Amino acid sequence: MTGSVKLIYGDQEFKLPVVEGSEGEKAVDISQLQAATGLITLDPGYANTGSCSSAITFVDGDKGILRYRGIPVEELAARATFKETAYLLINGRLPNREELTRFSVLLNDNSLVHEDMRSFYEKYPRSSHPMGILSSMVNALRSFYPELQNLEEEINMTVTRLLSKIRTMAAMSYKISRGHKVVYPRPDLAYCANFLNMMFDSPVKPYEIDNDVVNALRMFWILHADHEQNCSTSAVRLVGSARVNLYAAISAGIAALWGPLHGGANQAVIEMLSDIAKSRNMGRAIERAKDKKDPFRLMGFGHRVYKTYDPRARIMKKMCDSLLNKLKISDPLLDIAHELEAVALKDDYFIEHNLYPNLDFYSGIVLQAIGIPTNMFTVMFAIGRLPGWIAQWKESLDDPNWKLGRPRQIYTGPTQTQFVPIDKR
Ligand code: CMC
């Protein structure tokens, strides 16, 4: 505790303790507020509410800082593998060589998906969104691989299974949706290359692994790996707080991530840029985004926490330019994105509202260059975010201050009224 806040309510005075995090962030602890005063706090969208203490990820939205377990995301994006990053988030430290080898072996050993699950995929309408399929399939995994006693060893096995199988399931979903033969995981390939091979290899056209593409995917996934208490992570923690199994909690996270204001934004950005390309009217998009009567927003712009340039977007933009250059791809959407960013950053509305490109602004163009179809973009985000969700779920499991998630409300409906039988209504 570092001090307190004085609250005067009626003729009484209360003291609320202030807690401080390791980076100096302060919060008023209101956990005893209702018991002491009868008051609850009201904070729509939890914009001003800390739901937990966490040692996983640090974000400073004013300075544009993001660190996983203390390590700047810039360093991880430049030098770490996605596997190392996942290990770091989940276990709290980087693995040594032996631990990493063991982790890799376990990921390989668990990469196959039960053959019976294929029939689920085949019964889905071909037009189904892959995020809906992924969310259901992750939940279905529990039926194939139940944890029996919730022992630490079993939980660790579930974690490894999920990290490994999510790639296989995502690629399977894509192949089956196209009516193509499923490609099995290859133990000789590393995490990112293995996924790309399962997505794009085919008997008629063997997939050639390109190191620039693998590297782009590695960075893409590292940049998405965690972002503290965002919408989907909060969903994982909230659903997990009922002590459901990990599969069910992750399935809820995937469902939350699907939304266009969250992970679905990467797909929405490409759709917006394509519309601008078709209409050749960027000015109209800018004007619509500023018009309060129009629900349209500039997708890939703005963030609840970052009030400056999103550090992930800065890395993604640079990587996007370099990847397209290396692959000699000339994507007109990239030119539109650059121009739109330049126009928006000079516009008073965007300046006054602190609206900068977020992670999703350039990520869709990167995914397109890799060959990922638009409706799989958010699935790519989900695979990247999985280590973060798992780390947060595990942390909440071990939290000595753990409580079932159960927010309060201020009721605004009718006061007590009588039931009227149907013939008298
Ligand atoms: N275009 C136009 N105006 C915007 C935008 C935008 N993209 N984002 C925020 N605003 C305005 C909003 O209209 C409001 O204006 P006013 O105060 O005049 O009424 C003000 O900025 C604050 O907006 P808010 O919705 O209260 O702020 P928020 O913190 O809830 O919004 C957001 C965060 C991400 C939902 C929002 O910026 C948005 O809708 N962005 C577009 C969708 C998007 O790119 N989402 C991806 C987020 S990053 C990936 C992730 O972590 O999920």
Q: Which domains does the chain have, with CATH numbers?
A: 3-60 (2.20.28.60), 70-398 (1.10.580.10)
pLDDT at 148: 66
Atom of ligand 1 nearest to the CA of 301: 7
Query: What value does the CA radius of gyration of the chain take, rounded to a whole number of Å?
Result: 23
pLDDT score of 147: 73
The two three-digit tokens of residue 293, written as one number? 């009567």
Please determine, for residue 47, whether its predicted confidence score (pLDDT) is greater than 80: yes
pLDDT surpassing 70 at residue 192: yes
Residue pair 308/63 in contact (Cβ under 8 Å)? The answer is: yes
What is the rounded CA–CA span in Å between residue 16 and residue 355?
34
Among 90-104, 170-184, 273-287, 369-383, which is the least confidently predicted range?
A: 170-184
The HSE-up count of residue 274 (CA atoms within 13 Å, CB side) is 10
- Of ligand 1's listed atoms, the one at least distance from the Cα of 263 is 52
What does each C-alpha distance from 69 to 55, 76, 226, 342 come to in angstroms? 7, 11, 10, 33
| pLDDT at 150 > cutoff 80 | no
Residue 355 clears pLDDT 70, i.e. is over it: yes
For residues 306 and 61, the answer to whether their CB atoms sit within 8 Å is yes
Structure confidence by residue, pLDDT tens digits, 172-186 = 989 988 888 999 999
Share of the chain above pLDDT 70, in %: 99
Cα-flanking dihedrals φ and ψ of residue 164, to 5°?
-85, -45
**What pLDDT does 282 receive?**
95
Mean pLDDT of the region 15-37:
95
Q: Give 179 Cα–ligand 1 centroid separation in angstroms.
A: 38
Mean pLDDT of the chain: 95
pLDDT in tens, 358-390: 999 999 999 999 999 999 999 999 999 999 999
d(CA 302, ligand 1 centre) in Å: 5
Confidence of residue 127 (pLDDT cuts 50, 70, 90): confident
Q: What DSSP state is assigned to residue 208?
A: P
pLDDT at 369: 95
pLDDT score of 60 more than 70: yes
- 303 CA to middle of ligand 1, Å? 6
Is 144 a residue whose pLDDT tops 80? yes
Question: For a pocket test of ligand 1, which of 297, 305, 360 has the largest count of ligand atoms closer than 8 A to its C-beta?
Answer: 297
- Which pLDDT band holds residue 1 (cuts at 50, 70, 90)? low
| pLDDT above 80: residue 151 | no
Count of alpha carbons within 13 angstroms of residue 193, beta-carbon side: 13
Which of ligand 1's atoms lies nearest the C-alpha of 262? 52
pLDDT at 146 over 90: no
Percent of the chain past pLDDT 90, that is, above it, reads 90
Residue 327 confidence class, pLDDT cut points 50, 70, 90: very high
Q: Which of 9, 51, 56, 61 is nearest to 33 (CA)?
A: 9
Average pLDDT over residues 199-224: 97
**How is the chain split among helix, strand and coil, in percent rounded to 5?**
55, 5, 40
| Contacts with 86 (C-beta within 8 Å, 6 or more apart), sequence order | 163, 225, 386, 387
**Ligand 1 proximal residues by C-beta, below 6 Å:** 227, 230, 261-263, 265, 289, 297-304, 353, 355, 358-360
Task: Please give the torsion angle defined by the CA atoms of residues 89, 92, 95 and 101, in that order, rounded to the nearest 10 degrees.
Answer: -60
Residue 298 Cα, ligand 1 centroid: separation in angstroms? 8
Handedness of CA 213, 219, 225, 228 (dihedral sign): negative
Q: How much is the average pLDDT of 263-275? A: 94
What's the pTM value of the predicted model, to 2 decimals?
Answer: 0.95
Torsion of CA 233, 234, 237, 240, to 10 degrees: -100
Length of the chain: 425
